[in-house]
Amino acid sequence: MKNRDVDRRTVLGGLAATTVAAAGAVGAAQPAQAVPSARTTPERLKGYTVPLSARGVANLAPKPPWHYVADALGVEFWTTPAAAAAALPTGLDPDPAQPGHGFAMCVEWQFAATPADWLDPTYSQYSEFLIFLDASYRGRPVTWCPFIYVDNDNSLARGWAQGFPKKLGQIRQTRAYAVASQAAPTLGPGGRFGGSLSAGGRRIAEMDVTLKERTTGLPALTRPLVNLRHFPRLTAGQHDHPAVHELTQSVLTSLKVDNAWIGSGDLRFLPSPREEIADLAIQRLGVGFRGSLSYTVEDLTILT
C-alpha cells in the first residue's frame, strides 16, 4: 500500500484555530440559540443529564467542562462519492475537493470532569471507534461523523449531548509501553498496531497500522467538526417532528498533540445486518497514523 504525504494536509494541531474560534470557521452569522421554555416550578432533582437525583451525583454525564486525553490509531480511506453523499445529513454537501474521503480511528480515552476522576478508571476510561467523512457546509470544508461507538455509558451520554451518534460497541487497539517487550510493538519506525470494532456480537471493522516516521500532528481532524443533535418526540402524531434537530460545530479548547507518527495502514469494514459501516465500501487507502492528544469541551456552536 502506497504511503501518502500528509504534509499536503494541515495536521491536527491546526484544528485549534478552526474550532476554538467561534463558529466563524464555517459561517459568518450564526442563528440565535433557542431560549429554554420557562418553568413555573424549579426542579428539585439535581444533575446535568439523566438520571436526575436527590444529590445530583447519579447522572450519567456531569456538568461541563469535560477534559480528555487519549491515544489514537487511525487509517485514511476513500469510499465511493455516492456512498459518502448518502451518509450526509440535510445541510451538509459532499466535498467537491475530495469526494468520498475519510478517516477511521480507534481511540483509548481517559476523561475527567473533576481533578480526581482519573482515580476511578471504571468511570473515566473508555474506548471509541469513529468514522469521519469530508463534507461541505455552505461552501466551507468540514468533517462529519456518521458512525461512532463507545464502551462506556457516561461517554454515550456526553456524546449525545454534543450531537455524536454514539452506540455501544467493543473496541480494542494495540498498546505501547515505556519498557521494551516482545509483548508490545515499538513506538517508532516499523512499529505495528492493530485495532478492531465489534457491535451486536459481530466484528464490523478492523485496522492495521505500521509506523514509519514522526509528524507534527495527526491528519484526521484538519477541519471543523459538525455533528447533528437529534432528540425525537414520543407523543402520538409528533414522531416525525423531533424535539431537537440541529447541526452543531464542536468547540475544542486547550488542544495538544504529542508523539505523533505516520506510516502505512490497512482498513476493512465488515457487513452486519444492523450496521451500515460496510456501506462505505473502501475504494483505496492512504496513510496510517498514531499519536496522543488532549483537549477540553464546555461549549458548542449551533449552525442550523
Place of cell 480526581: 116
Under a CB-based contact definition with an 8 Å cutoff, are residues 237 and 259 in contact?
A: no
Phi-psi region of 151 (alpha: psi -120 to 50; beta: other; left: phi over 0): alpha
What does the block give as the cell for 301?
456552536
Residue 218, helix vs strand vs coil: coil
Under a CB-based contact definition with an 8 Å cutoff, are residues 157 and 146 in contact?
A: no
Give the up-direction half-sphere exposure of residue 118: CA atoms within 13 A in the CB hemisphere: 10
Q: Which pLDDT score, from 0 to 100, does residue 221 have? A: 81
Q: Which amino acid is at 68?
A: Y
Under a CB-based contact definition with an 8 Å cutoff, are residues 150 and 126 in contact?
A: yes
Q: What is the pTM of this model?
A: 0.88
Averaged over 291-295, what is the pLDDT? 97
Residues in the chain: 304
Q: Summarize pLDDT for 77-127 with one digit per residue, the tens.
A: 999 999 999 999 999 999 999 999 999 999 999 999 998 999 999 999 999
pLDDT score of 14 more than 60: no
pLDDT score of 32 more than 80: no
